[in-house]
Amino acid sequence: MLEDKIIQNADFFIKAINDHNERMSKIKTVNKLQTTELKDISIYLRIRPLMPPEIEQNSFEICLPNKNNPYKACVYEPAFRFDNKPVIKTQNFDFDYVFGPNDDNKTVYDNSIQSIVEVSLAGALGVVLCYGQTGSGKTYTITGIEEYLAVDLFNKMDKVINDMNLRSLETFNDRPFEITVSFFEILGSQCYDLLNNKEEIFIMEDKFRNMNIKGIKEYDCLTSDDLLKYINIGFSHRKTHATLKNDTSSRSHAICQIRIHNTVINQANDGIIYLVDLAGSERHADSKFHSKERLKETKDINSSLLTLKECIRARTLSTLGLQQHIHVPFRNSKLTTLLKETFDIEYCIRPCTTIFIANVSPNCLDYSHTINTLRYSSPLKVSQKTGYDPLKKKSYNLKDPSTWEHKHVIQWIEKSSNGAINPEFLVPNNENGIQLSNIPEMEFIRRCLLSKGMTEKRAKLFYLKLWGLIVDCRTKQRKAKLSSKPKPKYDTSMDEEMIRRYELEKKLGIYDAPKEEARKKLMELDGKGFN
């Protein structure tokens, strides 16, 4: 077997990999400093360490972070030539950051997830997705992230309260933030509440195009321990099943929803964090011994993961200033329908950020699994198109906030609010139109309330007025892109020929003649032809 041959030639492969790493170490190192700006979608890779049983069987690592470039992963394929001589094939994959076998959950959390806590407390939407083949450590990663996030969420409340100056508002109380949690799973097209005896729930869209979960039970959390308790209960009820690769393979998408309600600014939308442990994807070879039920599950899982990939990639492409309209097929699965606000750029009315963490095994015997995961996840990191400059100024358009400079923002605030809102309070840092649009709803309303005589309701309406402009502008841009497509030419020659034939038949009295006579006239006409 191939696996036995790989283990037998382990010394050769290890030496070849080490030699390649040594050559790579002589190349100029890429600056490891990352931008602190929170992106719409970030793609990370985590490589787990080898497990003790794998080390005992003489397995070796074939997937490692690039020593000189923390944004690349190197994969070494152990292969054999036609004459059975071992060879190593190398491939590189790009990510926003690559976490190696020595990086623990705390390192992963601090460098990828931590930033979404504050923006979610301010009313934004944060989504964390953990993906990987069965047995790659994705459940271990997401549970570790949930532990740190639960503590961080309560610890950062005071910082957000101070940053937003909530204590200055009359409505400030002893509990400015209410945290609730729910935990459910998606099995194909069915959803079940894992904190309520697996009662079936339904993901539905209301008349305002907002996604709601009908029948879900939410639990109030006063401390981080309360939050972790419900998370652990949810995971214990999740559906798992033994497969060829893992004795407890995840057979559903497990979703922890954390809702953050600001009791000081009641008019603002709730901040939401989705922590998603995706079902383990499988190759056909791994499912050949599955029962009929397992095969159906595998089909549903892979279909859902493919839709997710298409949505993330299309959503990223839609932000690159391309001239054509990019369709995001978020309605093709229950998971992406739930995350509609993340993908539906036209109707999203608040800042959203999505963090995707791909998990892989470095085991040489899992090469095919690892390369499949990398080929799935690396393309999600879309490169900027040639000549695209996001900082290039657009010509000013009163109805497009993305074209506004600071002076235009001030003019719009004064005119649209009839002088009721002081621009110095709403945009104290010389924000432009894009920066104004990225202010979380709670912070936007809080700044408006600093103006004398302003109420929460009026501030909320003013926020919706801004986002009404943004949505209208996106819709017009989409229609313009669709209308710019060349329309297929319709051949009217056939229609004209049918009309001429009808007029000729009517002139000859075929429609009024007896059946036999009409048939003779048609035969004569067909024999002669007509012009």
Binding residues for ATP: 132-139
> Which residue is it, tokens 């605030």?
413
Calculate the alpha carbon distances from 25 to 21, 120, 187, 413 in Å.
6, 40, 46, 54
Longest CA pairwise span in the chain (Å): 97
Q: Rounded to the nearest 5 degrees, what angle is found at the Cα of 420, between the Cα atoms of 415 and 350?
A: 75
Identity of the amino acid at 74: C
Give the integer Cα–Cα distance in Å for 434 and 412.
13
Three-state secondary structure string covering 4-50: HHHHHCHHHHHHHHHHHHHHHCCCCCCCCCCCCCCCCEEEEEEECCC
Give the integer Cα–Cα distance in Å for 136 and 48.
7
Return the exposure string of 199-222: e unless at least 16 CB atoms fall within 10 Å of the residue's CB, then b: eebebeeeeeeeeebeebbbbebe
**Would you list which residues are annotated within the binding site?**
132-139
Give the integer Cα–Cα distance in Å for 499 and 251.
61
Identity of the amino acid at 11: D
Two tokens at 81? 């030539």
Q: Please, what sign has the CA dihedral across residues 36, 42, 97, 276?
A: positive
